[in-house]
A and B are shown apart, each in its own frame.
Chain A
Amino acid sequence: MTSAAAVPRLLFERPTCLIDRATHYCPGCGHGIVHRLIAELVDELALADRTIAVAPVGCAVLAYDYLAFDWVEAPHGRAPAVATGIRRVRPEAFVLTYQGDGDLAAIGTAEIVHAAARGERITAVFVNNGVYGMTGGQMAPTTLLGQHTTSTPTGRDPVLAGFPLPITEMLALVPGSDYVARGSLVDPGAIGKLKAMLRRAFEVQLGGGRFSLVEVLATCPVGWGMTPQEAVDHLSVVAETYPLGVIVDRTKGIGRGGTPGPSREA
């Protein structure tokens, strides 16, 4: 006979709305972790029945094959505008965009800025891995100076290719942004903090708040020419250009005003 205390407690399992299939992502790709965190939160907050998510163009174009809720595929960069259209006719939905660095910070710069400017009640998940993975690892707006990519083969030279774009800090300046934060996949602790940021962003939307965005410093081992663990370790270098923390949380008076406050840990 076994007492109840002998029954092992389940600590972790695959979230229900993370579809049980192998993904097309490369080994060690950051998208897999972000997908799982979103799935965990959608399960925990019971959002699957209300969620309408907008898929990007990029490696995560097939996100709709992995997360079990309604999706709309957007043209490249236009996910915040597609999400705006959804939000304006579906006040009760939970609206999410999932975008990479090219989608959000290059071709989609206008759309994300104006979604924030309108204070759209949507949450943008911004997966920043510093390259264009799907098309073969070319430079992105967030590529670091000196970083070698297939379109900056000798390293990003600011004279030719400009500087990494602090798009998230820019968005934090916009009065319509209620919560803007940046997390990282660099270690389990950071992943835990990132999940807390995502949860906070979701709660801002669910509570009737305005625009929320969480940037994730993520890995692209193949695009960076590194092993998965080397890529994860490299995230601490990326964080020197893109510091972690909550950049603005207007619901809590963090960084209120014209200039964003200093980054602080969530």
Chain B
Amino acid sequence: MSVAPIIGVRGDRPGGARGPIAASPPGATNAAISATPFVPLAIAIDHCKGCGLCVAACPPGVLALETLAVNRLGYHPVRLVDAAGCTSCVRCARVCPDAVFTIWARPREA
């Protein structure tokens, strides 16, 4: 993975500020997109202060702070390291002082 000292503004996401960072917005109907793994949460990277409370609060431990990259505030923001392991329990969003998370429930397999 290349080292990126500055992450750009991720607030400009498809579908406005509420869309997930990953490629496909939820509810996509395209067959090719539906093959993309579902990403249950979006992170407002430039609001994150790297406090790490979400990392500690996450039961499956799928969150981690960036180690090298920093955001516009100068903090190491949080990153979802294992989308498949996220259970959408919302604990991260509950403990976050900066409301960086948007969380969706994983759709049930048909």
Contact = CB atoms under 8 A, between A and B. Distances in A.
Interface of A: 1-3, 5-15, 18, 20-23, 25-33, 36, 185, 187-188, 191-192, 221, 227-229, 232
Chain B binding surface SS class: loop
21 contacts: A2-B28, A5-B108, A6-B110, A7-B26, A8-B26, A8-B104, A9-B104, A9-B107, A11-B88, A13-B18, A22-B47, A27-B49, A27-B50, A28-B53, A28-B97, A32-B96, A33-B95, A187-B95, A228-B51, A229-B52, A229-B53
B97 A32 contact: yes
Interface of B: 11, 17-18, 26-29, 34, 38, 40, 44, 46-47, 49-53, 56-57, 73, 75, 88, 90-91, 93-99, 101-108, 110
- Most interface-central of B18, B44, B47, B98 (chain A CB within 10 A): B98
Contact of B27 (A6, A20, A25, A187): A6
Contacts of A191: 94-95
A262 B110 CA distance: 51
Contact of B99 (A5, A7, A26, A32): A32
Contacts of B27: 2, 6-8
Given A10-B18, A25-B97, 6 more contacts: A2-B29, A5-B107, A8-B40, A33-B94, A36-B96, A229-B52
Contacts of A6: 27, 34, 107, 110
A32 B52 CA distance: 14
Contact of A14 (B50, B51, B52, B99): B99
A30 B107 contact: no
